[in-house]
Amino acid sequence: METIKLRDEYIKLGQALKAAGLVPSGLDAKIVIQEGLVKVNGEIETQRGKKLHDGDVVEFEGETIKIVG
């Protein structure tokens, strides 16, 4: 499980996928999110701008990212 440390109050879902190296660009993040391939806290999330806070968990292609404050 990879962790992303927050610099601000939150990070957006598309930014988190890029920061973790799971997608090469914002466009790729947009596509995989809109196609329903990304889960946040166990639920499919289709909003690229979804705000992730401390404790949120993102799943994509068998990889897990935990957001830490």
Mean pLDDT by 10 residues, the chain (69 residues): 94 97 96 98 97 98 96
Question: What pLDDT is recorded for position 20?
Answer: 96
Question: At a CB cut-off of 8 Å and minimum separation 6, what does 17 contact?
Answer: 23, 29, 32, 33, 38, 58, 60, 65
Would you state the pLDDT for residue 12?
Answer: 97
- What are the structural domains of the chain? 2-68 (3.10.290.10)
Asked whether the beta carbons of 5 and 68 are under 8 A apart, the reply is yes
pLDDT value of residue 48: 93
pLDDT at res. 36: 98
* Residues found in the chain: 69
